[in-house]
Every structure is written in C-alpha cells, then in structure tokens.
Chains A and B, each alone.
Chain A
Amino acid sequence: MRLRWHGVARRAGAAVVTVLLSVFALTVILPLVWMVLTSFKSSHEIFASPWGLPPAPRWDNYVQAWREAGIAQCFGNSVIVTLATLAALLPIGAMAAYVFARYPFRGARWLFGAFLGGMTFPLFLTIVPLFLLLADLGLSDSLGGLTLVYVAYSLPFTVFVLTGFFRTLPADLLEAAMMDGCGHAAAFWRVMLPLVKPGLVVVGIFNAIGLWNEYPLALVLLSSDEVRTLPLGVANLMMVEHYQSDWGALFAGLVIVMAPVLGLYWAFRDRIHDTMVAGALKG
C-alpha cells in the first residue's frame, strides 16, 4: 500500500515539477519572442494592439535603427574592445589566479580580498576620478584606454573563478613538470593553463557578455562618434527614439544588441552549464 502511495506521490510530484519548469521557461521565452515580434511593428501598431502579430513585418525599423545610431560602426567598436579586453584579461587573470591558488604567501588573502571587494563598489562613483585619471594618462576618448579599464574591472570576477579552477588540479602534475626541468612559468604555460581551458572558455564568455552590454564606463570615457561602442549607440537610439517616440525602431535596436549575446550563449549553453558547474565553486 505504501509503495503504491509513493508511486502516486512521485508521479504527482513529477507533474508539478514539469508544470513549474514550463511556467518558468515560458516567462523567459515569451518576453523575448514578444520583443522580436514588436520590433517589426510601427509605434502606432504597438500601442494599438501590443500583443498581436505584426500586420506586415516592418524591416525598415531595423534599417532605421542601424542607420540612425550608426550601429554598424558601434558594432565594430564593440567587437574590437571585447576581443582586445579578453586577449589581455584572460592571460593576466589566469596568471594571478594560478598564484593565488597554488602559491601561498604572506598577505595573499588580503590581496585576494582586495580583488573581491572591488566587485561591490558602485561603478558610477569612480567614474569621475577615472575620467580624470585617463585624461592625465592621455588615454581619454580612446578604445585603448577603455580596454585597459575594462581589463582592470573584469579582473575580480575572472581571478575569483579561475582560482577555483586552478585549485582542482592535482599537485603531482606540477611536481612532474618541474622534475622534467620546467621552471614555474613554463609549467604554467605548458601544463597547467591548458588544463583549465574549459574554465577559460566559460570565464571568457561571461566576461564577453558583460563587456558587450557595458554602458556607464563607455559613456563617460568615450565621446567621439568614431569610437562609440554598441550600448552607447543603442542608448542614443533609445533617447533619440524616445524623443521621436519610434518604439518599433527602439525594439529593433534592442534586438540587434541582444542577438550576438544570445547567439553566443546559445552556442555554448551546454558548455557553460557543465563547466561552470564543475569548477566554479571550489573557491
């Protein structure tokens, strides 16, 4: 009798769980689908029937968004900055994380704590001192300056996660490498770093997503049209469209911003899920 009761309870439980999952999945998918549909409507249509299908797809919303905000150039700038930041951030972060993970020294915990503490200070209050600093260094209004700042601000999360990954590597690996005559550095580059490649991939992707969407720093540190990144272009679009009330183009702009990020995430979704799970918590 008890077994049958358990069987029923388990099946009921499974059904409840399925419903819960489906509802949650819907609350995530539906808004995005709605956004894409809305990006094909005119403002009039949006306000007249916000939840209906677009009567005819207005591709010129996208043309308008692309042209009005000069999004092509912003897109390119964002690609450059994101890639350059990652190219500098991953090696530098990995180097530091490796040391924190395997090479204890006096004050290591303080330094690590300092890195983590930086994650909690609200960004827009450091903006004015940061602007002044870059001006002094001759790096204002340049993609190079922005890249350096991005690397610095992405270090805490990167170091935090990679430290966890490095901690999972067995100690005898290092012994073996060093007995083969490798120095510490060579051991790092040739043996240890390749082993945490999944971690690098995941950290890289998370950072890329954040950098792609970054707005406040880019806003203050860049001003010329030539160097503007995508979030600035879209924010401009938002304000411009706000003034012109062209909601269709606004949504088209938002879709343009979202698409690469979602595409990237989709391509790597299993990898992210599995490897983030595997090593991230050992910190």
Chain B
Amino acid sequence: MAHAVPRRRSEAGRARGVQRGAFVAAFLLPATALYVLFVMWPVAQAFIFSLYRWRGVSMERTFTGLGNFAQLVADPVFLRALSHNLALLFFGGAVILCVAIAVSHAIHTEGRAARALRAVYLFPQVISMVVVAVLWSFVYNPSFGVLNGTLRAAGLGHWALDWLGSSRTALPAVGVVFVWHALGFHIMLLSAGLRTIPVEVTEAAVLDGAAGLQRLRSVTLPMLWPVLRVSMVYLVIGSLNTFALVYLMTVGGPDRSTEVMLTYLYEHGFKHSEFGYATALAVANFGIVMLLSGAVMAAMRRDPTEGSPA
C-alpha cells in the first residue's frame, strides 16, 4: 500500500513502533469494543440457538445438534422461498443494472429532466419501507388502483388483474417495487463510477468514431468494472435479505407465491414459535449470501481493462 504508514526497524524506530502500536490499538478500541459487545456477541448467541429446539418464550430449550439444518435442507418451502429470492436477484438485478447504467449515463447531461432527476432519484431509498409498501399496495389495488385505472382508461381492461391477490402475478408485482426502490442506490453508485472515467478516454473514443452503444460496450463497461462488482454484491445482499417489503405487501402470499427466506424465517420464529429453526434459517441465509457474494467477487475479479490496448 503506497499510502500506508510503514513500520520501522531502528531503536528509535522501535520506540516509535510501540507508539504506533499503541495508537492503532487506542483508535480501534472504541469501535471494536462496541461492535463485539453489541453485534458479534448476540450474533454468536443466535448461531448457538440454531442448534436447539426453542420456543422463544422462555429459556427452556432442547439440544438438537444439526437437526434444524437437516430439516431445512429437506424443507420444500425453504427451497421455494430461496428460488423467489434468486428470481429477484437475477431478473430484478438485471433490470436494475440495465436501467441504472442507462440512467446514470443520462443523468450527467444538462437539461431539466436530468436536473430534476438528480434531485429526486434517491427518494425511494430515503422514505421508510412502510410508506413504500402502503403506497404500492394502493397502486396495485384491483378496484381503484392507478395501475388498473390507467389500463381501463387505455382500453386494456382485460389486463386489469388482481396483481397482489393472484399467485401468478404477485411475485412480479413485488419485484417491480423491489426494483423501483433499489434503483436510486445503484444509479448513485454507477454515476460515481462514471465520474471516475477520465474525460480523455471518453473523448478519445468519440473521436475514434464509437457511437453511443459501442462506446458503452468497449469503453464504459470495462472501466466501470470495479463499480459493477460492488453494485452486484449489494444486489446479492439486497435480494437475499429482502423482508419488510414483501412482509408488508403480501406476507409471503398468496399461498406462498411471494415467500422469501426472511418472511419464512419470521413465520417460524414469531408465528410458529420455532426459534431454533428460524435461527438455523438465518444462519443458512447468511451462508448463502456469503457464498454468492464471494462468487460474484471471484467471477468479476478479472478486470477487462488490464492488458488491453487503449
């Protein structure tokens, strides 16, 4: 690391080394102490709970070892919920990335639309999930929601479905809201990334005759690589850990068509009084998130700009 403070070997250096060490320890102490006490310790305890059968209303519990995990692997609802999370990740993620790339490109232009959008694109991220869920529930309402209202006004009345009440359309409907909510964050990330592309590179590409789309492919995307990687990791986390949105809009229904891992977890913990199983679910969820994030980081490690001619 070029900017790092080096360690020294001389005697004065060793004294300064001790001084350095003391400094490092002192500066890390408050954060680490708070974090270990209030975050890691409860998490560790939660991991331990996953080895028990526990109702969650007293300290009475029975040790079952890996029993909860064995049950989890064979649980068809868990697998179905996981598939829904993955659907959000792949389909939702694809839409988010495409739209975010396009919008972040456009957001740098001048013009009233761009300026207006710069001001408001983070709004969905900033308001609480309760508001988002209530709002979109009204939009999707089959009798007076704006979606069906618009469809009927446009003469497409037969498309005015019961979006959240029917198993076929519920998950895509929730997916749309998921995308709407997450877009702002990824637009922000990607426009940050676009800012880091040196202007000369872009100008050179334009001079070389690369039109918009080709420029996108050969210059913009490769230079955005590290940012895209970060964006994808956030997509993994966001889609696998989604809870409030689904819970508030559909509670995982109808008939489990929008069930995701965390709503299933909540059901086991708080409705079925199976806290041990719920914790095991959380551990599994955590493991899957780590796995997928790691996979994304590994798959995208090779930066296409390395070694390629300008």
Residues of A bordering B, CB below 8 Å: 6, 9-10, 13-14, 17-18, 20-22, 24-25, 27-29, 31-32, 34-35, 47, 50-51, 92-93, 95-96, 98-99, 101-105, 111, 114-115, 117-122, 124-126, 128-130, 133, 148-149, 151-153, 155-156, 159, 167, 169-171, 174, 183-185, 188, 209, 213, 215, 231, 234-235, 238, 250-251, 254, 257-258, 261-262, 265-266, 269-270, 272-273, 276-278, 280-281
Task: Using A119-B237, A122-B262, A185-B23 as known contacts, say yes or no to A25 and B45 having CB atoms under 8 A apart.
Answer: no
Determine if A95 and B28 form an interchain contact, defined as CB atoms under 8 angstroms apart: yes
**Between-chain CB contacts (< 8 Å), 28 pairs:** A10-B212, A21-B116, A24-B99, A25-B117, A29-B120, A32-B123, A32-B127, A50-B144, A92-B30, A98-B27, A99-B27, A102-B4, A104-B1, A114-B40, A115-B35, A122-B282, A133-B42, A155-B34, A169-B3, A174-B5, A183-B23, A185-B23, A213-B128, A254-B130, A254-B134, A257-B131, A262-B127, A277-B188
Partner of A125, one of B2, B3, B24, B282: B282
Residues of B contacting A265 in the complex (Cβ-Cβ under 8 angstroms): 122-123, 126
Q: Is B265 an interface residue (CB 8 A)?
A: yes
Q: Which residues of B contact A95 (CB under 8 A)?
A: 27-28, 30-31
CB distance from B294 to the nearest CB of A (A): 11
Please name all residues of chain A whose beta carbon is closer than 8 Å to the beta carbon of B2 when the two chains form the complex.
171
> In the complex, are the beta carbons of B192 and A126 less than 8 A apart?
no
User: Are B131 and A93 in touch, CB under 8 angstroms?
Assistant: no
Q: Return the chain A residue nearest B192 by Cβ.
A: A277
Count of interface residues, chain B, beta-carbon cutoff 8 Å: 94
If over half of A's interface residues share one DSSP class (helix, strand or loop), that class is named, otherwise mixed; here it is helix
Tell me if B3 and A273 are in contact (CB < 8 A): no
> Is B295's beta carbon under 8 Å from chain A?
no
Cβ-defined contact, A266 with B119, below 8 A: yes
Enumerate B90-107 residues with CB–CB distance to A below 8 Å. Answer: 99, 102-103, 105-107
Report which B residues bind A (CB closer than 8 A).
Answer: 1-5, 19-21, 23-24, 26-28, 30-32, 34-35, 37-43, 45-46, 49, 56, 99, 102-103, 105-107, 109, 111, 113-114, 116-124, 126-131, 134-136, 138-139, 141, 144-146, 149, 180, 183-184, 188-189, 191-193, 195-196, 211-212, 226-227, 230, 237, 241, 243, 262, 265-266, 269, 275, 278-279, 282, 285-286, 289-290
User: Which of A121, A167, A170 contacts B43 (CB under 8 A)?
Assistant: A121
Closest to B3 in A: A171
Do B227 and A96 touch across chains, with their CB atoms under 8 A apart?
Answer: no
In the complex, A174 Cα to B1 Cα: how many Å? Answer: 15
**Cβ 8 A contact of B40, one of A22, A34, A118:** A118
| Contact present for A209 and B126 (CB under 8 Å) | yes
Query: What separation, in Å, do the CA atoms of A238 and B134 have in the docked complex?
Result: 11
| CB-based closest 7 A-B pairs | A152-B38, A277-B192, A96-B31, A129-B42, A126-B42, A129-B45, A184-B23
Known: A21-B113, A96-B27. A34 touches B135 (CB 8 A): yes
- Which residues from chain A contact B241 at a C-beta distance below 8 Å? 120, 122
Partner of A21, one of B5, B37, B107, B243: B107
Whether A254 pairs with B188 at a CB distance below 8 angstroms is no
Apart from A258-B131, A273-B191, list 18 A-B contacts with CB within 8 A: A17-B105, A17-B106, A21-B106, A24-B117, A25-B113, A25-B117, A50-B138, A103-B20, A118-B40, A120-B289, A125-B279, A129-B49, A148-B38, A169-B3, A171-B2, A254-B134, A265-B122, A277-B191
For B188, what are the chain A residues with a Cβ–Cβ distance below 8 Å?
273, 276-277
